[in-house]
């Protein structure tokens, strides 16, 4: 099996190293990731300048671009053969609910999915890399499960509580929950007295009921949400057709 691995925390991130180590034991891996932390870059592609790719001493490739750039470059010019799976992460911090729209971790996996390749995005629920070994073992478990009964391609968004492997609950199929709107930007001043703004933190969970990713994570379960890309609002489409008739 050939696996393409990327992330959004950058090629030096502990989560990427742990993921690559875990999957190198069971597959031929290629790792290509941003040269710096590009969290929150969503599905953006760099179109206003060329990209450079370099190889680090550990064999990882790094690119001065986004997670989507990395996977796009790998699939359209770098790899001689299409991988069987694209895997992203392990991200520092949860990607649940609307996070999935902003996440570069999810975007790297989505790029593979858009090219018809099954893909999985992995995130740890809490920051700080606690119990990263357990998360990497879950990632390996998930890859080894193969999911032969799933339609191809699939796109899984996986969130893993920061717990020892033995203390993780079941692996639960979930839907995305919803968050309250983000906290306001933080307005402050730079050292020269100029006004600057920091984008504030994400909102707390709003729809975190049973069946959601938020709920599963709170139980200590591994949350797996199958994602799709079509943003069409099917029910509003019918109403709009009537409005425009
Ligand atoms: Mn990140």
**pLDDT tens sequence across 197-226:** 999 999 999 999 999 999 999 999 999 999
Rounding to the nearest 10 degrees, give the CA dihedral for residues 64, 67, 68, 72: 70
Q: What are phi and psi of 28, to 5 degrees?
A: -80, 120
User: If you measure from the C-alpha of residue 15 to the centroid of ligand 1, how many angstroms do you get, rounded to a whole number?
Assistant: 10
Q: Distance from CA of residue 230 to its chain's centroid?
A: 17
User: If you measure from the C-alpha of residue 8 to the centroid of ligand 1, how many angstroms do you get, rounded to a whole number?
Assistant: 5
Question: Which of 77, 76, 60, 45 has its CA nearest to residue 13?
Answer: 60
Q: What is the pLDDT of residue 47?
A: 98
Q: What is the pLDDT of residue 224?
A: 98
What is this structure's pTM?
0.97
The encoded tokens of residue 235 equal 């029910």
- How much of the chain exceeds pLDDT 90, in percent? 100
Mean pLDDT, range 232-238, rounded to an integer:
96
Domain architecture of the chain: domains with CATH: 2-179+206-244 (3.40.1210.10)
Question: Which of 137, 139, 134 has its CA nearest to residue 122?
Answer: 139
Neighbour tally for 195: CB within 10 Å = 8
The answer to whether 95 and 202 are in contact (CB under 8 A) is: no
Bridge partners of 172, per DSSP, are 223
Question: Which of 45, 155, 138 has its CA nearest to residue 90?
Answer: 138
**Whats the size of the chain, residue-wise?**
245
Rounded distance between C-alpha atoms, residue 68 and residue 104, angstroms: 7
Q: What are phi and psi of 135, to 5 degrees?
A: -65, -40
User: If you measure from the C-alpha of residue 171 to the centroid of ligand 1, how many angstroms do you get, rounded to a whole number?
Assistant: 22
The encoded tokens of residue 186 equal 């933080």
SS3 call for 70: helix
User: If you measure from the C-alpha of residue 43 to the centroid of ligand 1, how many angstroms do you get, rounded to a whole number?
Assistant: 13
User: If you measure from the C-alpha of residue 56 to the centroid of ligand 1, how many angstroms do you get, rounded to a whole number?
Assistant: 20
Bridge partners of 217, per DSSP, are none
Reported confidence tier of residue 143, pLDDT bands at 50, 70, 90: very high
Contacts of 146 (CB under 8 A, 6+ apart): none
User: If you measure from the C-alpha of residue 235 to the centroid of ligand 1, how many angstroms do you get, rounded to a whole number?
Assistant: 33
Q: Burial of 134 by CB count in 10 Å (0-12 exposed, 13-18 middle, 19+ buried)?
A: buried
């Amino acid at each position: 099996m050939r696996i393409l691995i990327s992330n959004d925390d950058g090629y030096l991130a502990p989560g990427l190293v742990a993921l690559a180590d875990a999957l190198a034991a069971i597959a031929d891996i290629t790792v290509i990731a941003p040269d710096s932390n590009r969290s929150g870059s969503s599905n953006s592609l760099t179109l206003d300048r060329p990209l450079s790719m370099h190889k680090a001493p550990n064999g990882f490739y790094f690119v001065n671009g986004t997670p989507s750039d990395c996977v796009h470059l790998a699939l359209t010019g770098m790899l001689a053969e299409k991988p069987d799976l694209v895997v992203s992460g392990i991200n520092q911090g949860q990607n649940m609910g609307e996070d999935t729209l902003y996440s570069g971790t999810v975007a790297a996996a989505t790029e593979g999915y858009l090219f018809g390749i099954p893909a999985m995005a992995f995130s740890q629920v809490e920051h700080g890399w606690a119990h990263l070994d357990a998360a990497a073992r879950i990632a390996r478990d998930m890859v080894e499960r193969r999911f032969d009964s799933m339609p191809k391609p699939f796109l899984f968004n996986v969130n893993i509580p920061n717990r020892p492997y033995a203390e993780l609950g079941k692996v639960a199929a979930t839907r995305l929950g919803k968050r309250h709107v983000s906290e306001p930007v933080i307005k402050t001043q730079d050292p020269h007295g100029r006004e600057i703004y920091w984008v504030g933190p994400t909102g707390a969970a709003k729809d975190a009921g049973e069946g959601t990713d938020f709920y599963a994570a709170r139980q200590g379960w591994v949350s797996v949400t199958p994602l799709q890309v079509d943003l069409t609002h099917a029910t509003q489409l019918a109403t709009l057709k009537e409005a425009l008739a």
